[in-house]
Each structure stands twice: as C-alpha cells, then as structure tokens.
C-alpha cells in the first residue's frame, strides 16, 4: 500500500510552549470537642487537584479530533474545521494566561486579542491551503499520532501531529497540516493549522 503525503504550500513558524498553574483547594481545620479546654489546632490542608476547565469546542479524545478533521476535509467544510480550534473566549481565559505564566517570548506584551488575531490569521491561511488540496476527497479516517506532550499541570500541547486517512483507491494519505493540538481537562482542539513540513 503506497503512502502519499498531503502537502500544503509555504512554511510558517509559531513557537508554542505551555506552562500551567493548577487550582488549589482550601480545607478548613476540624475543631476539637466543644468540652476540650485546649484551643483547636489547624490541620495541614490535604492536597487536592481540581478538575481543569474543559475547552468548549474540544473533542473527548485525540481519535475523535482526528475523525472530525478528516470528515471536515472530505466534506470541504471550512466552518467545521474552524470549529475544531479554540474559541476566543477559551483562548483568552484558558490558554493565553498559561502562555504568559510560562514566560512565552513577546506574547505577554501582545495582549490576548492581538495574539489571537495573529495566530488565527496564519492558521486560516493554512486551513484554506489544506482544503484547496484535499477538500471534497472521499477520505476515511485511519489514525492520528502526535509527538510527546509538553505538559504543565492541567494544560498540554501535542506537537508533530500526523493524521492518516484512506482514499477511495485504498491509499493511505498523511495529513500533516496541524501545527499542534492543545488538551485541557480531557478535551482536545487544534491550536493551529500549518503548512506541511517536508
């Protein structure tokens, strides 16, 4: 079975690194008996881990995200592809603050709207190139794989994403048009599209 790589023209760069601070839960001390003459002592709070907020558009698994991507490409559906990326609200409240905490170069001085606009502009161009090349083809999802997650607490980024799909002739195609996937609270979204890396 031959393997054909799906390419998208031109290169783009966007550095991605993630740092996250987990929410801490506060436990109150248990008082001693009311008859005790000794003043109650505060106990050390037990460590707890809050469930991270999920991304609103996120898919429940990496496979589900890959299936949705292939279905959107096969349907030549730009809106469906854009729906696989974070909303501005999620980017501004759940993603951008973690980039700032991580000390991402320049991003702290941009502000969430400016950073979002720049990220989205490049991503939309690469999304269009993907549809120009493969939009409307009869594709069936086969698998999705990514490099080691860059994880800091509740948020992680999965780079080096490869989606494999089978065409009508049974050939397996490699779609490499995803720059990175972001995961939070068990939900997965495409952080950014990109041209193919040769």
- Res 24: pLDDT: 24
Give me the residue spans of the domains in the chain: 3-12+55-193
- Res 47: pLDDT: 45
- Positive or negative torsion for Cα 193, 13, 94, 188: positive
Question: Residue 134 — pLDDT band, cuts 50, 70, 90?
Answer: very high
Q: Give the pLDDT confidence of 36-80 residue by residue, as tens digits.
A: 333 333 444 444 456 679 999 999 999 999 999 999 999 999 999
The DSSP element (H or E) to which 67 belongs, if any, is helix 62-74
Residue 7 has pLDDT above 60, yes or no: no
Determine contact, residues 117/53, Cβ cutoff 8 Å.
Answer: no
* Comparison of pLDDT for 128 and 18, the residue scoring more: 128
Range list of β-strands (E), the chain: 3-6, 140-145, 150-152, 155-159, 162-166, 172-175, 178-184, 187-193
């Amino acid at each position: 079975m031959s393997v054909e790589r799906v390419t998208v023209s031109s290169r783009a760069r966007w550095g991605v690194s993630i740092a996250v601070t987990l929410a801490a839960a506060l436990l109150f001390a248990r008082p001693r008996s009311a008859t005790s003459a000794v003043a109650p002592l505060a106990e050390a709070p037990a460590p707890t881990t809050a469930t991270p907020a999920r991304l609103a558009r996120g898919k429940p698994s990496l496979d589900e995200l890959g299936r949705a991507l292939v279905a959107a490409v096969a349907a030549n559906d730009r809106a469906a592809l854009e729906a696989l990326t974070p909303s501005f609200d999620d980017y501004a409240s759940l993603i951008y603050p973690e980039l700032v905490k991580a000390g991402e170069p320049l991003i702290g001085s941009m502000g969430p709207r400016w950073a979002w606009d720049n990220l989205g502009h490049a991503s939309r161009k690469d999304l269009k190139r993907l549809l120009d090349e493969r939009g409307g083809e009869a594709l069936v999802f086969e698998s999705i794989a990514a490099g080691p997650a860059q994880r800091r607490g509740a948020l992680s980024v999965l780079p080096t994403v490869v989606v494999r799909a089978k065409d009508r002739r049974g050939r397996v195609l490699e779609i490499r048009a995803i720059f990175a996937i972001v995961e939070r609270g068990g939900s997965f979204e495409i952080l950014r599209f990109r041209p193919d890396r040769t």
